[in-house]
Amino acid sequence: MHIVIMGCGRVGASLAQSLVRLEHSVAIIDQDPLAFRRLGDSFSATQITGIGFDRETLIAAGIEQASAFAAVSSGDNSNIIAARVARETFGVSKVIARIYDPKRAEVYERLGIPTVATVPWTASRLLKSVLGEATAEAWRDPSGAVALLHVSPHEGWVGHSLSEFEAATGTRVGLITRFGVGELPVASTLVQSGDTLHVLVIDDHLELLRDLAARPPEGALS
């Protein structure tokens, strides 16, 4: 897939390099041409000098063919404007913005634009977001029998309780990350848009979890 990144700071450069290693097509935008030095001499993807929310700049970066857009510059306003342009003007399906202010992040989440906070998130987490992976294994006990997965459930699960999710998948949700902040859930906690569930699962239920997390629950609208 083709992915456009706005911002060639440490996070943007790391994300771009990871995507190129996975053989994705990448274009990265930054106002400062010197920022591209972070990519190294062997970096082969497209480098665009310009303003990341400028329409012509985005077109030059291939936004019209992009499957995902990540706005990870150092400015909250620039990131959210660029994310909205990518989604609302060019119809990019996977859009994510890096937001430093957690209060603003919550507002933008409610507008339907996923955000990542500076401290709790890393380039690897952004990588999972732009590629749309529903689950990622984070830990496994020494016996290998129980795994901890970070799960980004399908939007169809929004409004459903964790007890429903646990019953369907045969798992236990130990922690939720919501707007970059960890919360200890209870059975009646409802899944919200953008939640990351930290799920304990045995091997026998691993494929079931991955299958059900990636699609809406039975009877829900897709």
Could you please state the CATH topology (level 3) that the domain comprising 2-131 is classified under.
Answer: Rossmann fold (3.40.50)
What's this model's pTM, rounded to 2 decimal places?
0.58
Burial annotation 187-212 (CB, 10 A radius, 16+ → b, else e): eebebeebbbbbbbbeeebbeebbeb
Average pLDDT over residues 120-134: 58
- pLDDT at 86 > cutoff 60: yes
Q: Say yes or no: do domains 2-131 and 135-213 share a fold.
A: no
How is the chain split into domains, by residue range? 2-131, 135-213
pLDDT tens track for 18-49 = 899 888 999 999 999 999 999 988 888 899 99
CATH for the stretch 135-213: 3.30.70.1450
- Report which of residues 98 and 35 the model is more confident about: 35
> The tokens of 118 are what?
């500076």
- pLDDT at 103 > cutoff 80: no
Torsion sign (Cα): 213, 219, 220, 222 = positive
